[in-house]
Amino acid sequence: MVANMKTLLIVYHSTTGATAQMAEAAASGARNIEGTIGDPEVQVRLLHATAANPADVLAADAYIFATPENLAAIAGLMKDFFDRCYYGVLGQISGRRYASIICAGSDGSNAARQIERIATGWRLEAAAAPLIICTHAQNPEQILAPKHISTSDLARGVELGATLAAGLAIGAF
């Protein structure tokens, strides 16, 4: 690893595949900035929420948190990630940038606000507005069914990942 290497950590949870697709799109966008900026020194780490720990958070320079909205809140395993990491990194990551991706059946704003409150406690700074992807799943069968995110929404994820990686690469944050 290069001494000046910056790290973008993408932490996600997905039950039906929607959030995983968006997290992977963001990672792809972050990894593909090379041809547009020169030779940026940005490492992209994509971790499931159950695999991420305080050391991963401390080692990163910016973050994307991706979660489904379940019952108007972040998914339980994302909450578990934040619970496990919160105090272990508190006061040590202030000022770092973050963004969030929320996959929701209809709204997503409560989950976005929940992540914003957690990020405020960590003293993180938003690098972008929350990216909310609406799947329009409204009944039990639709909610539990595997999801296929549209090309246009995946492109929004790619753009978000590229934006954070480019910001790291040029030293904007």
Grouping H, G, I as helix, E, B as strand and the rest as coil, residue 66 is strand
Query: In angstroms, rounded to a whole number, what is the distance separating the alpha carbons of residues 18 and 31?
Result: 20
- What is the model's pLDDT at position 41? 80
Grouping H, G, I as helix, E, B as strand and the rest as coil, residue 80 is helix
Q: In whole angstroms, how far apart are CA 102 and each of 5, 40, 54, 107, 148?
A: 28, 28, 22, 9, 15
DSSP string, 46-65: EEETTT--HHHHHH-SEEEE
pLDDT in tens, 96-145: 999 999 999 999 999 999 999 999 999 999 999 999 999 999 999 999 99
State pTM to two decimals.
Answer: 0.95
* 66, 100 Cβ separation under 8 angstroms: yes
Q: Which of 10-14, 40-44, 155-159 has the lowest mean pLDDT?
A: 40-44
Q: Is the pLDDT of residue 36 over 80?
A: no
Cβ burial of 51 (10 Å; 0-12, 13-18, 19+) is exposed
Query: In angstroms, rounded to a whole number, what is the distance separating the alpha carbons of residues 46 and 55?
Result: 14
- Here the tokens at position 59 are 């080692």
Domains annotated on the chain, with CATH: 6-169 (3.40.50.360)
Residues paired with residue 98 on neighbouring β-strands, in sequence order: 63, 126
Grouping H, G, I as helix, E, B as strand and the rest as coil, residue 100 is strand
- Give the helix/strand (H/E) hosting 2: none
Within 10 Å of residue 108's Cβ, how many Cβ atoms? 23
pLDDT in tens, 42-68: 999 999 999 999 999 999 999 999 999
Residues paired with residue 133 on neighbouring β-strands, in sequence order: 103
